[in-house]
C-alpha cells in the first residue's frame, strides 16, 4: 500500500472515529446514558423504550469505534488489509466499503 493510500485511509478512519465519538457523546450527555426526556412525560413505556434504544445505539457506536481504532492499529503495525482468519489480502472493494473490516469476504 502506498504512502498516499495509507494517508487517505488514516484520514478516512480518523474521520469515522470522530463521527462515532460525536454520536456517542450525544447519547451519553453529562456522563450518563439516559436520554434527555421531559420528567412529566406521560407515557413511561415510551420513555423506557427510548432509553433502551439509546443504550443499544451507544453499545453499537462503542463497538464500531473499537473496530475503527483496531483498524488504525493494524495500519500502524503493517497488517491492515489482511484477513485475520486466512491471512490473505482483503479485496480493495471490500476495504473501500468497510475500511475497518478484519475479514475477507469468504470469512465475513
Report the chain (108 residues): mean pLDDT per 10 consecutive residues. 81 95 84 54 66 87 96 95 96 92 95
Half-sphere exposure of 82 (CA within 13 A, CB side): 11
For residues 9 and 71, is the Cβ–Cβ distance under 8 A?
A: no
* pTM of the full structure: 0.77
Residue 78 falls in which region: left (phi positive, over 0), alpha (psi -120 to 50) or beta: left
Residue appearing with cell numbers 470469512: 107
The residues, ordered by sequence, that sit 6+ positions from 72 with a Cβ below 8 Å of its Cβ are 10, 13, 14, 17
Would you state the pLDDT for residue 53?
85
Amino acid at each position: 500500500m502506498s504512502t498516499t493510500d495509507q494517508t487517505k485511509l488514516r484520514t478516512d478512519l480518523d474521520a469515522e472515529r470522530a463521527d462515532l465519538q460525536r454520536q456517542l457523546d450525544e447519547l451519553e450527555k453529562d456522563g450518563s446514558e439516559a436520554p434527555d426526556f421531559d420528567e412529566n412525560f406521560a407515557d413511561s413505556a415510551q420513555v423506557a423504550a427510548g432509553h433502551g434504544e439509546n443504550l443499544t445505539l451507544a453499545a453499537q457506536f462503542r463497538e464500531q469505534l473499537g473496530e475503527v481504532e483496531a483498524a488504525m492499529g493494524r495500519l500502524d503495525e503493517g497488517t491492515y488489509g489482511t484477513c485475520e482468519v486466512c491471512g490473505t489480502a482483503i479485496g480493495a472493494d471490500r476495504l473501500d466499503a468497510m475500511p475497518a473490516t478484519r475479514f475477507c469476504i469468504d470469512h465475513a
